[in-house]
Structure 1
């Protein structure tokens, strides 16, 4: 046997062993994170799961440019007391996603896929933790399942026009006129350099920003066809803004316990977006941190205790 075939054999063996392990521990109730896939039509959703299925469920929805990896520290901190599922949305992370022509990359369709995931997993009630793109997907899920949502945690996940900061300027121009010229003007948005900028902008101490997150997402966005998918989603974000009044009506009617933990230097979602919740949910809990869009990358030691306290008081 030639030595160059050994790495391939080892890789194949590890993949088989990993798949067997994932299957074996799917019903586990300990605090060890399980990594698995769930086939939802033509999307193979990758997700991280931890905790007893008898405990309150928390569904974690990441944003751009991230994946379920962004929740890693929160998952670990909540593993003993909650059933936590953090998934990679279509076109993100390790989820195996169809080509652009085989799947409608809109927020409505992403929410439909996640809704089918929830039903297929047999989840009857859940809190949602959202960030960025994960927020409008979470709000759409809440509209579909208003009686199922037990609480909301938002880390820079917006629901009000008040929160749309100056960074949306060129994007709003694209919404108003989705011409080739305006699309091309945003061609640097789905690039590794732009992703890194989103991780470090507004951060006071750059030594706190691990390169893992922006490097992984930079590799993801560099895959063939991925830039166009991300520009499609950027254009469709307009539909979320148009639905803001529906989301706000949901907040007013159902009064879900809500916690906002916000990087106040976010170039896309300003503090006004978090403060706006007080108009609809008077008991909303709003906390600001001196950092940027990815607050959990730099202030996890401050934010996680706030999340744990909120959940202990609101999830029984």
Structure 2
């Protein structure tokens, strides 16, 4: 008997210069297939998509860059590069141009949401669909856990900056970001251990605190994001870990206000839903894009 297992898609690891930034990215799937651009959040990297990519790459060209300040992307030090969400989006926009993408579905998670939606605003004609996985664009989505950040936005003092630093602590990343609302028996330690290591690099803390402050620019951009939804009506799938301590389920339902055809699904997990529910999320994506893109 000469049985063989199905071949897994090959994931390639590459870098693409974009100005002074060397963007590291993962890529898999046929070069001529419809593109899904995966944008990670805080405090992680494209590594968070390690389980999802093989589940999509037979049908789609899947690309997952590391944002500046995260993962393996090499960017100038703080002071030589302004770590703002506008600049993260400019780098990702430049990356998209540099590798020649002219149309793509966006998968947006956490910080990837305001980054990706800025990219969509710049080129709405390129966006074939949006998958938002705990990626917020409405005030409805904020939980009370944002209180210290919101205080820092209102009063950007050093004292208030320091009060947000606990978001970078290893126990916060492990127990709150990853652990809250999650079946711990299904949670690999690899993801949060790597994120903790990245956040422990010299200078990483101040870069992250700059982005904490600049997150207020995302809230200020919500009306523009919502106007984009109303005008362009991109097909949108929201797949949400319903126990997320930061972005609560009303943030997913809110998309329906501007996108009446939006499809919303809740999963019995937390913020990092891919850590435990990659198969379920891949199934929703394949069904959704299969209908919307006729792939």
Q: Which residue of 1 aligns with 2:101?
A: 123
2:52 and 2:235 mapped to 1: Cα distance?
19
Q: What TM-score results when the alignment is normalised by the length of structure 1?
A: 0.89
Does 2:125 match 1:137?
A: no
Q: Secondary structure at the match of 2:105?
A: strand
Q: 5+ unaligned residues in a row in structure 2: which ranges?
A: 1-7
The structure with higher relative contact order (CA 8 Å, sep 6+) is: 2
SS at match of 1:49: strand
Matched, 1:101 2:93: no
Give the CA deviation at 1:301: 2.4
State the distance in 2 between where 1:88 and 1:96 align.
Answer: 9
Question: Aligned pair 1:177/2:155, yes or no?
Answer: yes
Tell me if the contact between 2:52 and 2:279 (Cα under 8 Å) persists in the aligned partners.
Answer: no
TM-score by length of 2: 0.95
> 1:191, CA displacement in angstroms?
2.2
SS in 1 for 2:50: helix
Q: Which 10-residue stretch deviates more, 51-60 or 143-152?
A: 51-60
Range that drifts further, 147-156 or 92-101? 92-101
Q: CA deviation at 1:202?
A: 1.5
Superposition RMSD in Å: 1.0
Equivalent position SS for 2:206: helix
Q: Distance in 2 between matches of 1:68 and 1:167?
A: 25
List structure 1 runs of 4+ shifted beyond 3 angstroms.
none
The structure having more radius of gyration, on CA atoms, is: 1
Residue aligning to 2:235: 257
Q: Which residue of 1 aligns with 2:180?
A: 201
Q: Please identify, of 100-109 and 188-197, the stretch whose mean Cα deviation from structure 2 is larger.
A: 188-197
> What residue number does 1:86 align with?
64
- Identify unmatched segments of 5+ residues in structure 1: 1-29
Count of residue pairs brought into register by the alignment: 286
- Which of 276, 289, 292 does residue 298 from structure 1 map onto? 276
The answer for the alignment partner of 1:21 in structure 2 is: none
Preserved contact between residue 153 and residue 259 of structure 1 (Cα < 8 Å): yes
Q: Provide the C-alpha distance between the structure 2 equivalents of 1:48 and 1:314, rounded to a whole number of angstroms.
A: 25
- Kept in 1: contact 2:55–2:279 (CA 8 A): no
- Structure 1 Cα separation of the partners of residues 143 and 290 of structure 2: 32
- Which structure 2 residues correspond to residues 190-269 of structure 1 after superposition, within 5 A? 190-197=168-175, 198-203=177-182, 205-269=183-247
Q: Tell me, yes or no, if the aligned pair for 1:251 and 1:281 is still in contact at 8 Å.
A: yes
1:34-49 to structure 2, matched below 5 A, reads: 34-49=12-27
In 1, distance between residues paired with 2:51 and 2:184? 19
Structure 1 stretch displaced more, 188-197 or 63-72: 188-197
SS in 1 for 2:161: helix
| Deviation string, structure 1 residues 43-93 (Cα, Å, up to 9, x no partner) | 111100111221111100000111111111221011111111101001111
1:24-35 equivalence runs, <5 A:
31-35=9-13
Match of 1:15 in 2: none
Distance 1:270 1:36 in 2: 35
Q: Determine if contact 1:66/1:92 at 8 Å carries over to the other structure.
A: yes
